[in-house]
């Protein structure tokens, strides 16, 4: 039968406990979500700072609609690029000490665009093994040679980069692009950007950082990893950041040299052939960065992370050494992970089970995310619930 593989693939996923199904969220206020008439305290979203419902951000959105309407009405090279987009690009370029920035509709599109637009047969891309699928997929499909180095392993990267006549790697590559993340999306640990930029300089390579989870959260004014670690455009020639997580809106940007941005404006198909982001979104995004500049929400988040980790330690809940809002608990198999997530749901707590192939086999996990919009009492109730459920599955330490 034609296209029988569709059903076969779904059946296989179901058998292995890996089938994905969506939940329909009725409403959400702060960290509370409503599903099928039930309310849950969510520890699953990426709105790390509560910016989705920040009053100044919502106000900017509404004002944007009254000036420009709800959509941009065209792709950027036609009539879709407004002064609202330009002001956000200028703000990002100035704040990040880059020559220029370019907006995209999503981080997925931005990663694909960079990969596809820059690729040629003599480019060698070397990506951290735990890079997000939006980069990996594009890297594997583009014209460049594509290699992965072990997670945050600079020695492995250096070995791959060394000229080795028996490998087809960098020996024949005229250009090399090293790629990592600011905060890794599933583990919450930081990319070793300082070491990576050193290696890049030594090997005449470029470093690209996907800072999707660092934006808003890291840096004195919320401008992410390059602000936090003071990394210049020369050290990180390609910076990608998204707005759909800590910034609370949607969309993404790439920042770097004027030549890079001019090149993307001309050759990045995801930019050229896609309707520009709504101008109201650009205004709301700009307002979100401004409302984060004093660092107070980031401080609240830091306090929640410390509280969560302390309570978990006291109860023997096994954590990784992540210091960020992403606090995974590794369960190791998809079926148990789903059961734990279901049991937490019964207690009014929402944590999505993240399973293979989103994470490597055997590392299925609860990807817990904390937010400045959680109250101290939310964290207390959550850790109490976690303890009860994890004890049932013998996941607690020393038991
Ligand atoms: C590291 C990373 N890069 C890129 C993306 C894609 O960003 P967006 O959701 O804006 O498409 C994500 C989203 O989950 C991500 O975690």
- Domain around 178: 55-292
Q: Is residue 13 part of a domain?
A: no
Examine the domain organization and report whether 155 and 280 are in the same domain.
Answer: yes
Q: What is the mean pLDDT of residues 265-293?
A: 98
**pLDDT tens per residue, range 208-239:** 999 999 999 999 999 999 999 999 999 999 99
Exactly one of 189, 210, 211, 364 is catalytic; name it. 210
Specify the pLDDT at position 162.
87
Domain boundary among 240, 272, 292: 292
Examine the domain organization and report whether 308 and 345 are in the same domain.
Answer: yes
Taking 80 as the threshold, does the pLDDT of residue 172 lie above it? Answer: no
Determine what percent of the chain is predicted with pLDDT higher than 70.
97
Q: Is residue 75 part of a domain?
A: yes
Count other Cβ atoms within 10 Å, centred on residue 356: 16
Domain boundary among 292, 311, 338: 292
Determine what percent of the chain is predicted with pLDDT higher than 90.
92
CA of 399 from ligand 1 middle (Å) equals 37
Specify the pLDDT at position 227.
98
Ligand 1 pocket check for 212: Cβ under 6 Å: yes
Q: Is residue 219 part of a domain?
A: yes
Examine the domain organization and report whether 223 and 331 are in the same domain.
Answer: no
Examine the domain organization and report whether 48 and 67 are in the same domain.
Answer: no
Count other Cβ atoms within 10 Å, centred on residue 84: 25
Calculate the CA 258 to chain-centre distance: 25
Ligand 1 pocket check for 187: Cβ under 6 Å: no
Find, among 314, 329, 313, the residue nearest to 366 by Cα: 329
Taking 60 as the threshold, does the pLDDT of residue 167 lie above it? Answer: no
Here the CATH number for the domain that contains residue 345 is 3.90.1150.10
Q: Is residue 10 part of a domain?
A: no
Q: Could you identify the atom of ligand 1 that is nearest to the CA of residue 108? A: 11
Tokens of 230: 């003071």
210 is known as an active-site residue: yes
Sort 330 into a burial class: Cβ within 10 Å, 0-12 / 13-18 / 19+: middle
Q: Tell me the β-bridge partners of 38.
A: 35
Count other Cβ atoms within 10 Å, centred on residue 167: 14
Q: What is the mean pLDDT of residues 92-99?
A: 98
81 is known as an active-site residue: no
Ligand 1 pocket check for 142: Cβ under 6 Å: no
Examine the domain organization and report whether 299 and 341 are in the same domain.
Answer: yes
- Name the residue at shortest CA distance from atom 5 of ligand 1: 107
Query: 145: which residues sit within 8 A by CB, 6+ positions away?
Result: 121, 123, 124, 125, 168, 169, 173
Taking 90 as the threshold, does the pLDDT of residue 173 lie above it? Answer: no
Exactly one of 81, 213, 270, 286 is catalytic; name it. 213
Examine the domain organization and report whether 210 and 69 are in the same domain.
Answer: yes
Q: Is residue 280 part of a domain?
A: yes
CA of 1 from ligand 1 middle (Å) equals 36
321 is known as an active-site residue: no
374 is known as an active-site residue: no
**pLDDT tens per residue, range 36-49:** 999 999 999 999 99
Specify the pLDDT at position 228.
98
Q: What's the number of domains the chain is made of? A: 2
CA of 305 from ligand 1 middle (Å) equals 22
16 is known as an active-site residue: no
Specify the pLDDT at position 17.
84
Specify the pLDDT at position 397.
86
Q: What is the mean pLDDT of residues 13-31?
A: 92
Examine the domain organization and report whether 300 and 156 are in the same domain.
Answer: no
| Beta strands 123-128 and 145-149, pairing class | parallel
Examine the domain organization and report whether 31 and 61 are in the same domain.
Answer: no
Q: Is residue 361 part of a domain?
A: yes
Q: Is residue 232 part of a domain?
A: yes
Average pLDDT, the chain: 95
159 is known as an active-site residue: no
Taking 60 as the threshold, does the pLDDT of residue 165 lie above it? Answer: no
**pLDDT tens per residue, range 330-347:** 999 999 999 999 999 999
C-alpha dist (Å) from residue 284 to 62, 210, 213, 229, 288:
9, 22, 18, 26, 6
Q: Please give the order of strands across the beta sheet that includes 365-369.
A: 326-330, 365-369, 353-354
Exactly one of 245, 286, 297, 374 is catalytic; name it. 245
Separation of alpha carbons 53 and 36, rounded Å: 22
Q: Is residue 236 part of a domain?
A: yes
Taking 50 as the threshold, does the pLDDT of residue 155 lie above it? Answer: yes
Following DSSP, what letter does each residue of 15-28 receive, concatenated? HTT-------EEEE
For the entire predicted model, the pTM comes to: 0.95
Q: How confident is the model at residue 166 (pLDDT cuts 50, 70, 90)?
A: very low
Domain boundary among 246, 274, 292: 292
Here the CATH number for the domain that contains residue 71 is 3.40.640.10
Query: 327: which residues sit within 8 A by CB, 6+ positions away?
Result: 188, 305, 308, 309, 319, 320, 368, 369, 370
Count other Cβ atoms within 10 Å, centred on residue 1: 5
Examine the domain organization and report whether 135 and 167 are in the same domain.
Answer: yes
Specify the pLDDT at position 398.
73
Examine the domain organization and report whether 247 and 233 are in the same domain.
Answer: yes
Taking 70 as the threshold, does the pLDDT of residue 163 lie above it? Answer: no
Taking 50 as the threshold, does the pLDDT of residue 21 lie above it? Answer: yes
**pLDDT tens per residue, range 178-213:** 999 999 999 999 999 999 999 999 999 999 999 999
Ligand 1 pocket check for 285: Cβ under 6 Å: no
Examine the domain organization and report whether 150 and 287 are in the same domain.
Answer: yes
Examine the domain organization and report whether 169 and 46 are in the same domain.
Answer: no
Q: What is the mean pLDDT of residues 115-139?
A: 94
Find, among 382, 305, 346, 301, the residue nearest to 43 by Cα: 382
Specify the pLDDT at position 174.
87
227 is known as an active-site residue: no
Ligand 1 pocket check for 105: Cβ under 6 Å: no
């Amino acid at each position: 039968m034609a296209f029988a593989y569709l059903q076969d693939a779904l059946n296989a996923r179901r058998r292995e406990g890996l089938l994905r199904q969506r939940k329909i969220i009725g409403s959400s206020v702060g960290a509370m979500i409503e599903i099928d008439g039930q309310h849950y305290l969510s520890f699953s979203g990426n709105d790390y700072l509560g910016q989705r419902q920040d009053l100044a951000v919502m106000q900017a959105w509404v004002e944007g609609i009254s000036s420009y309407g709800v959509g941009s009405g065209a792709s950027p090279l036609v009539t879709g690029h407004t002064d609202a987009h330009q002001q956000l690009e200028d703000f990002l370029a100035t704040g990040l000490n880059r020559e220029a920035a370019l907006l995209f509709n999503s981080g997925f599109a931005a990663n694909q665009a960079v990969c596809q637009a820059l690729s040629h047969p003599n480019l060698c891309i070397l990506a951290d093994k735990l890079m997000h699928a939006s980069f990996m997929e594009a890297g594997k499909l583009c014209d460049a040679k594509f290699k992965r180095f072990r997670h945050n392993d600079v020695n492995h990267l250096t070995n791959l980069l060394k000229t080795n006549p028996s490998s087809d790697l960098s020996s024949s590559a005229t250009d090399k692009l090293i790629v990592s993340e600011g905060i890794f999306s599933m583990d919450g640990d930081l990319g070793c950007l300082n070491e990576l930029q050193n290696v890049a300089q030594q090997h005449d390579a470029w470093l690209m950082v996907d800072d999707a989870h660092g934006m808003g959260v890291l840096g004195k004014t919320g401008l992410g990893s390059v602000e936090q670690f003071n990394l210049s455009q020369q050290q990180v020639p390609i910076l990608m950041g998204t707005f759909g997580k800590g910034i609370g809106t949607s969309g993404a940007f790439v920042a770097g040299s004027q030549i890079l941005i001019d090149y993307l404006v001309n050759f990045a198909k995801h930019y050229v052939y896609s309707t520009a982001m709504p101008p109201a979104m650009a205004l709301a995004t700009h307002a979100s960065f401004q409302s984060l500049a004093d660092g107070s929400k980031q401080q609240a988040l830091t306090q929640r992370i410390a509280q969560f980790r302390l309570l978990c330690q006291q109860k023997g809940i096994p954590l990784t050494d992540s210091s960020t809002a992403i606090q995974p608990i590794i369960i190791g198999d998809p079926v148990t992970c789903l059961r734990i997530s279901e049991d937490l749901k019964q207690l009014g707590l929402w944590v999505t089970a993240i399973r293979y192939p989103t994470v490597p086999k055997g590392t299925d996990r609860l990807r817990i995310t904390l937010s400045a919009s959680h109250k101290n009492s939310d964290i207390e109730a959550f850790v109490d619930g976690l303890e009860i459920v994890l004890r049932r599955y013998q996941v607690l330490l020393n038991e």
